[in-house]
Chain A
Amino acid sequence: MSDPHTVLIVDDEESLVKVLERKFKEEGIEVLTASNGREGLDTALSEHPDVILLDIMMPEMDGFDVMRHLQEDDWGKNVPIILLTNSSSIETVARAVTTGMSEFLVKTDMRLDDVVSRVKERLD
């Protein structure tokens, strides 16, 4: 495999980041992690990952704010973002849709393999 792809996982729940990281690595995907929105935005802008897995409810800066800041960046406005959250309320979904998100996943609905395959789809 040439030039491994990189996924950035932004989530404040350490245990979830850890298991995702391990799963992605087994699939041959490089992983960057961040435990809040601000850190996630900084890492994204400096490391330019291929896909961002983004939580919504986080300290410092929430997922929607991260997306708003990325929209202002030349590289950031084109990077594929997958929202991965447990706030499955209709309000959150509506906001994600109006923010232009094409992918919105509810954590409890997803198996790990499903998350991996969604990310892989974005890498092709």
Chain B
Amino acid sequence: MMVSEWLAKWKSVEWIILAVWFVVSLALMVFAAPLSNLIIFGVDTGTYSAALLYRVQSIILASGVLIAASTTGIAFLRYWRQQSNKGVTKEMVTDLMLSREQFRQLYENSPVPYFLMDDTGVIRNPNRATLRFLGGTAEQCSATNFFSLLREGDDGGSETSLMRTKVERGFPITKQEVNITTLTGTDRWGLVSIYSLDKDSQIPYKHLVTLIDVTQEKESDMVKTDFLLLASHQLRTPLTTIKWYIDYLLTTKTLQVTDDMREYLEQIYVGNERMIELITTLLTVSRIEMGTLAPEYKRLHVKKLIEDILTELAPEILKKSINIEKTINKDDTLTTDRTMLRIAIHNLCTNAIKYSPVGATVSIDGVFTPSRATITVRDTGYGIPPAEQTKIFTKMFRASNARQVSANGTGLGLYLTKAFIEKLGGTMEFTSILDEGTTFTIDLPRVAPGA
């Protein structure tokens, strides 16, 4: 016990050797003192004269000094090295172990599924959330290729192969939505992010994958879409009944309808039409916000599109004697979604006519460069009050002066217009001066991205 404690105290065998040799050397110095006196001072103080003994003593002394010097050197070297490692204390090692354990606990028990993956997609170190998500044991998950769990979408698997390529090349993937078939065969949705170590790294499992479970959100989105489709149908059916019965009363020759009755029926008809329009718009807004409205791209002629819109608006144009000026380049093709662009331009033209005084001018210009199309709708109408201009693209916005001009209006027109234009890869801007007029400018790519 004592010895081991003592050893532990000294820690180093070198110190013991040093001590032993120090004692031996000292003893030799004492015993060899007469000889030393002879050598150093030339004084013979004793009887040691045998050459052999002298040599043996000298060798022992020299080797003692040598070994003592070297052990001292080594001991000092060790000591110095310890000094330079200063900071690594026992507490720190304990801390390190603790934080390692904390990290492990966090990794293991995080509600977010984490796992490592090699270049081909084989899973390693799945944490508990991963096991829950994929519905298997650690062994089952580790024997699984992540990419083989991904369901092919409408694209026939091109998304998955793009993801594979990205992983192989070490490109990060951020929150990409994936549809996963779990090990138990159920269908789940996740947002996958993959961060990779340097692609030249020798570590085989160098991709850290996080998989956020969005199955519930996705399902509630689908329920919402189903609800909207149902609502669209269910709400329109009674409106159709109202519309057609009034229409019948207004057009039939078999029933007696007085002029008063006709006037009231017309009022009901107009109110009902507004209701239909409002529901259509609200459903479109909901579908845009849920991202379920997918554009369909076709090549179209802008001039023809605008002419069609103006034909449709002819009654209002005539009623207010609006002067229409139209300048559109000859090369006027666009590859875009016809319905969305039509609604967008229709809204801008309707606004221009609605918020202009009788006899005003509305000009529509179309300027086309090889890559972009700029469509401008300019009116000389009431304009938008400066204080309200920042809000004009927000939902349910109606300018204070617009409300005075017309009580009707959903406040969704410009919001929808902007949403559509952005969906088609374009931008929308405006300038407006109160009581002088407003100019809306749509800038679109000649070919919509994704077309």
Which residue numbers of A lie inside 8 Å of B, CB to CB? Answer: 13, 15-16, 19-20, 22-23, 26, 57, 86-90, 107-108, 111-113
Does the CB pair B237–A87 fall under 8 Å? no
Q: A26-B254, A90-B296 are in contact. Are A108 and B248 (CB under 8 A)?
A: no
Does the CB pair B247–A16 fall under 8 Å? no
Which 3 pairs of residues, A with B, have the shortest CB-CB distance? A86-B236, A107-B240, A15-B241
Cβ-neighbour of A57 out of B233, B239, B243, B244 (below 8 A): B233
8 additional contacts (CB under 8 A) given A88-B280, A111-B243, A112-B244: A13-B237, A16-B244, A26-B254, A86-B240, A90-B294, A107-B236, A107-B240, A111-B247
Does the CB pair A113–B241 fall under 8 Å? no
Q: Chain B, 280-291, contact with A by CB distance < 8 Å: what is the 0/1 string? A: 100000000000
CA distance A87 to B241 in the complex (A): 15
Q: Chain B, 233-262, contact with A by CB distance < 8 Å: what is the 0/1 string? A: 100110111011101100111100000000
Does the CB pair B245–A19 fall under 8 Å? yes
**Across the two chains, which residue of chain B brings its CB closest to A89?**
B229
Q: A23-B248, A90-B296 are in contact. Are A16 and B233 (CB under 8 A)?
A: no
CA distance A57 to B226 in the complex (A): 13
CA distance A113 to B252 in the complex (A): 10
Does the CB pair A87–B248 fall under 8 Å? no
Whole-angstrom distance between the Cβ of B254 and the nearest chain A Cβ: 6
**Across the two chains, which residue of chain A brings its CB closest to B244?**
A19
List chain A residues, Cβ under 8 A from B229. Answer: 87, 89
List chain A residues, Cβ under 8 A from B237. Answer: 13, 16, 86, 107
Does the CB pair A86–B232 fall under 8 Å? yes
Which residue numbers of B lie inside 8 Å of A, CB to CB? Answer: 229, 232-233, 236-237, 239-241, 243-245, 247-248, 251-254, 276, 280, 293-294, 296
CA distance A72 to B241 in the complex (A): 33
- A sample of 16 inter-chain contacts (CB < 8 A) reads A13-B237, A13-B240, A16-B240, A19-B244, A19-B248, A26-B252, A57-B233, A87-B233, A90-B293, A90-B294, A90-B296, A108-B236, A108-B276, A111-B243, A111-B247, A112-B244
Does the CB pair A87–B232 fall under 8 Å? yes
CA distance A13 to B242 in the complex (A): 13
List chain B residues, Cβ under 8 A from A23. Answer: 248, 252
Does the CB pair B240–A113 fall under 8 Å? no
List chain A residues, Cβ under 8 A from B236. Answer: 86, 107-108
Does the CB pair A108–B240 fall under 8 Å? yes
Does the CB pair A108–B243 fall under 8 Å? yes
Whole-angstrom distance between the Cβ of B146 and the nearest chain A Cβ: 32
List chain B residues, Cβ under 8 A from A87. Answer: 229, 232-233
**Across the two chains, which residue of chain A brings its CB closest to B236?**
A86
Residue with the highest number of chain B CB atoms closer than 10 Å, among A88, A90, A108: A108
List chain B residues, Cβ under 8 A from A16. Answer: 237, 240-241, 244
List chain B residues, Cβ under 8 A from A26. Answer: 252-254
List chain A residues, Cβ under 8 A from B293. Answer: 90
Does the CB pair B248–A112 fall under 8 Å? yes
Residue with the highest number of chain B CB atoms closer than 10 Å, among A20, A23, A90: A90
List chain B residues, Cβ under 8 A from A86. Answer: 232-233, 236-237, 240
CA distance A112 to B296 in the complex (A): 30
CA distance A101 to B237 in the complex (A): 22
CA distance A88 to B240 in the complex (A): 13
Does the CB pair B233–A20 fall under 8 Å? no
List chain B residues, Cβ under 8 A from A22. Answer: 248, 252
Whole-angstrom distance between the Cβ of B293 and the nearest chain A Cβ: 7
**Across the two chains, which residue of chain A brings its CB closest to B296?**
A90
CA distance A57 to B237 in the complex (A): 11
**Across the two chains, which residue of chain B brings its CB closest to A111?**
B247
CA distance A86 to B243 in the complex (A): 13
Does the CB pair A112–B240 fall under 8 Å? no
List chain A residues, Cβ under 8 A from B240. Answer: 13, 16, 86, 107-108
Whole-angstrom distance between the Cβ of A86 and the nearest chain B Cβ: 4
CA distance A107 to B236 in the complex (A): 8
Does the CB pair B241–A13 fall under 8 Å? yes
**Across the two chains, which residue of chain A brings its CB closest to B240?**
A107
CA distance A87 to B234 in the complex (A): 9
Whole-angstrom distance between the Cβ of B282 and the nearest chain A Cβ: 13
